[in-house]
Each structure stands twice: as C-alpha cells, then as structure tokens.
C-alpha cells in the first residue's frame, strides 16, 4: 500500500503535458527536410473505382503525402576526444600516491533517425574515460568500459512530445561553460558537480508541451533500480558500508553471478519542470521528488523520501568583443536518513546538500573563446560535513567546424569536518575533439 501510494503521488505530480522540441544536444532529433519531388521511377498510384474521378494533380498530392508519411532517415552523431592529462595531487601526510599523467580518451557514437512526420529515435553508446581522472581507460583484451547513454523512441505532434526508453531530462542539467567540454564533461572537475546537482539520465518516461514559443513544461518519471538513473546520486545518507544509497546498489555489479546490481533496491523518481528560452536569456526550474526502498524483501522497513529543488539561468549578451554568456545554477536537496545498520528505523535528522555553479563564456570569434566555471558542493548529515570546490578555466579553438583544440586548467579541493587540512588535485588538460552534430 505504501509503495502504491508513493507511486501514485509521484506519477500525478510528475506527468505534465508533453512537448515538441527541447534542446537536448546531441540527442535531439533533427527536423525533417522538405520532401523531394517525386521522380519518374516512383510507382504509379493504384487506381480503383473510388479514384477514377480524381484528377492527376490530386493523385500526385495524395501520393506525396503517402511518401512523406513513410519517409525514413538515419544519421550518425557523437564525439571523440583525447589528449594529455597532467596532474598534481594534494594528499594527507599518511597517503603516498604518485602522479600518473595519463593520456586520456573518451568517445560517444550513436545514430538518430525518424519514421514519418512524428516519430524519432536515438541510440548512443560511450567508451568511457575510465574513471573521473581517466586512469582506467582501455579498449584492449575486453577491458573497455562501454556505457549506454540514450536509447529512446519519441512521438511528437502539435506541440506535444512523449518519449520512452533510456532518456535524459534536459531541465536537470545545469548550464555550464561550452569551453569545459574538451573531455565531454566526463572528468571529475566537470562531471561531479552536475551529478551532485541532480543531472538525471536513465530508464524512464519523458513528456513535454510547448505552451508558447518561449515556454515549455515537461516531466520525467522513473521506476527502476537506483543504478538505472543518474539522479539517484543526489540522495545522501550512510548505508553501511557506503556513503550513498547508489553505491549500495552498484556494489553487486561484478560480484553477483549475473553481474546485475542489487535487485533488493527500487526507486520512484519524478521531476516536473518548466523551461524558458529566448534570444537573450534561458532559464529553467525543476523539483525532483523521490522515494527509495532499500529492502524490497522486507515489508515493514522504512523508505527514504526526499526532494531536490533546482534553478538555473543563462544570459546571451552580444558585445563589441564577442558574445558573453554568464550563467548560474543552484540546487537544494533534503532527504530522510535510515539507520545505517537497520533500515526499519529512520533517524530524526535529515541529509542536506546544496550545489552552486557559476561562470561565463566569452566567444570572441564564432565558437572560439574562453570560459570560466566554479562549483561548490556542500553536504551535511549527522556528525559529518563535507564541502567540495571545483574550479575550471579553459579555452577552445575550432580549427574546423567539427574539430577543436582545447586547453584547460582545473582544481579540486575537499574539506572534511574535523580534518585539519584539505585534500584535492590540480590538473592541466591538452586535448583535441571531433563533434558530429
């Protein structure tokens, strides 16, 4: 009864009407090109008694409509990035780890297409960076870390859109600097702030509706294992021996007989949102609501309930020196905490976290420019307080429309309550990337 009630509540709040076109680069499907005129090789339309009185011109229009309805298209998209990662580590006195300075690589490749006027789809895979610092990347002897990104089918008509499969929620991703994407936002300095702010991609349903030219309302709903969506990472609270519930479910991967995550956990996750787009300003607001059962096999245990509020705004200001795009994001999460050992009991305290991201891009010529980005992640739970800082400064130069060179410096610092010194790392990335849009 409890799970049914939670499911019904979230479904009611997280199922707004649908939308036609939301910017989801590079996952968004293209607009169909105008249908080419029929050629002399097209088959003659079948004539029956019902069509004998139709003029040749009307038959041609009818035939074109039929061809357009059956029109199919498929195209590749993705990106390939690689280069050199130079690092310097700031470690506690009792830790001795040498720097590695790895050559790094990450790639994504997929196809997207459409069938007729209203149906589009996408399928994308990723050969990952090999961890947040790029130490584990390999594509030899079965060592490659292949991830599934998007696998969805979308139906769009009259401003409404609904998609099913493995999808992303565009309102859940913070506005970030375009010049920090040299490694496709897969390294520690750019990826982690996005995840801790609630960036959500995974198995579920997405729907949206264009209220006007500028406003879109949308909603995402998931009912899955915690590892089935990235949004689970926003949930905090220790579950022995792990710091967050996501890692409890993920710990079984590679250890169980079938290599599946722990099937004893299940999450309902819903996110209504509103987006605004104009020539000079973009903005988004969202509330993510969830209930997580950590013991499906136990009927009298407690669930983890919580919510994450998100706001973001980005400007697009033309100036004499180029286009300046300042941005700012904030998210605020609160969720219940279970007893770390016995999930039948909730603790009186809450897990609380907030994430702040700000920065700007200056595009001095076309897509060439410099960018700056700072993020802070603050988490609090009983007897534990952590604050993390992420700083990025980089530049991008596009030598071709699809090929760019990048140079970026990045700093990560972590401060733990009760610890006298902070730890972290400093990195320099020299990269090249190809982007197929």
* Predicted pLDDT of residue 134: 85
CA distance linking residue 134 with residue 268, whole number of Å: 32
Q: Where are the beta strands (DSSP E) in 116-263?
A: 119-127, 146-157, 160-168, 201-210, 215-224
Respond yes or no on whether the N-terminal peptide bond of residue 241 is cis (omega within 30° of 0): yes
Task: Select the CATH number that applies to the domain covering 2-24+82-436 from these four: 3.30.830.10, 1.10.3720.10, 2.40.160.10, 2.30.130.30.
Answer: 2.40.160.10
Measuring CA to CA, which residue among 67, 66, 73 is closest to residue 32?
A: 73
pLDDT tens-digit series, residues 343-359? 788 899 999 999 999 99
Sign of CA dihedral 155, 161, 165, 170: positive
* Predicted pLDDT of residue 98: 79
Q: Taking the model in full, what pTM does it have?
A: 0.82
CA distance linking residue 308 with residue 201, whole number of Å: 15
CA distance linking residue 7 with residue 352, whole number of Å: 24
pLDDT tens-digit series, residues 19-64? 333 333 443 444 333 333 333 344 444 443 333 444 444 444 445 5
Q: Please report, for the chain, the start and end positions of each structural domain, with discontinuous segments joined by +.
A: 2-24+82-436
* Predicted pLDDT of residue 314: 98
Among 55-59, 159-163, 208-212, 266-270, whose mean pLDDT is lowest?
55-59
Q: Does 132 have pLDDT greater than 90? A: no
For residue 169, name the pLDDT band (cuts at 50, 70, 90).
Answer: very high
Measuring CA to CA, which residue among 329, 322, 333, 321 is closest to residue 177?
A: 329
């Amino acid at each position: 009864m409890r799970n049914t009630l939670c499911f019904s509540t979230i479904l009611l709040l997280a199922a707004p009407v649908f939308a036609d076109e939301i910017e989801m680069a590079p996952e968004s499907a293209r607009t169909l090109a105008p249908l080419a005129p029929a050629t002399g090789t097209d088959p003659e339309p079948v004539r029956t008694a019902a069509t004998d009185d139709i003029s040749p011109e009307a038959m041609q229009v009818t035939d074109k409509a039929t061809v357009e309805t059956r029109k199919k298209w498929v195209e590749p998209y993705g990106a390939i990035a690689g280069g050199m990662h130079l690092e310097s580590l700031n470690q506690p006195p009792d830790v001795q780890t040498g720097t590695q300075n790895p050559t790094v690589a990450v790639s994504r490749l997929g196809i997207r297409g459409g069938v007729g006027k209203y149906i589009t789809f996408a399928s994308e895979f990723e050969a990952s960076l090999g961890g947040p610092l790029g130490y584990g990347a390999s594509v030899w002897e079965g060592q490659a870390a292949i991830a599934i990104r998007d696998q969805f089918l979308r139906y769009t008509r009259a401003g409404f859109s609904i998609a099913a499969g493995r999808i992303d929620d565009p309102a859940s991703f913070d506005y970030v600097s375009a010049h920090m994407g040299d490694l496709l936002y897969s390294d520690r300095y750019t990826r982690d702030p996005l995840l801790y702010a609630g960036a959500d991609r995974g198995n579920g349903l997405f729907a949206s509706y264009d209220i006007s030219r500028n406003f879109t309302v949308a909603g995402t709903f998931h009912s899955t294992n915690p590892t089935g969506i990235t949004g689970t990472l926003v949930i905090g609270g220790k579950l022995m021996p792990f710091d967050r519930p996501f890692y409890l479910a993920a710990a079984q991967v590679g250890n169980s007989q079938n290599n599946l995550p722990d099937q004893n956990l299940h999450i309902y996750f819903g996110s209504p949102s509103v987006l605004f787009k104009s020539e000079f300003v973009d903005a988004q607001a969202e509330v993510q609501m969830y209930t997580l059962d950590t013991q499906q096999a136990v009927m009298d245990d407690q669930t983890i309930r919580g919510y994450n509020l998100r706001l973001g705004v980005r400007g697009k200001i033309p100036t004499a020196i180029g286009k300046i795009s300042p941005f700012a994001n904030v998210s605020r999460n609160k969720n219940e905490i279970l007893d770390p050992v016995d999930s039948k009991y909730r603790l009186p305290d809450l897990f609380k976290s907030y994430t702040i991201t700000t920065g700007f891009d200056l595009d001095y010529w076309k897509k060439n420019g410099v960018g700056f980005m700072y993020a802070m992640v603050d988490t609090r739970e009983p007897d534990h307080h952590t604050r993390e800082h992420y700083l990025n400064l980089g530049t991008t130069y596009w030598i071709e429309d699809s090929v760019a060179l990048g140079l970026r410096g990045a700093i990560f610092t972590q401060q733990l309550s009760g610890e006298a010194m902070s730890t972290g790392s400093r990195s320099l990335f020299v990269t090249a990337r190809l982007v197929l849009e």
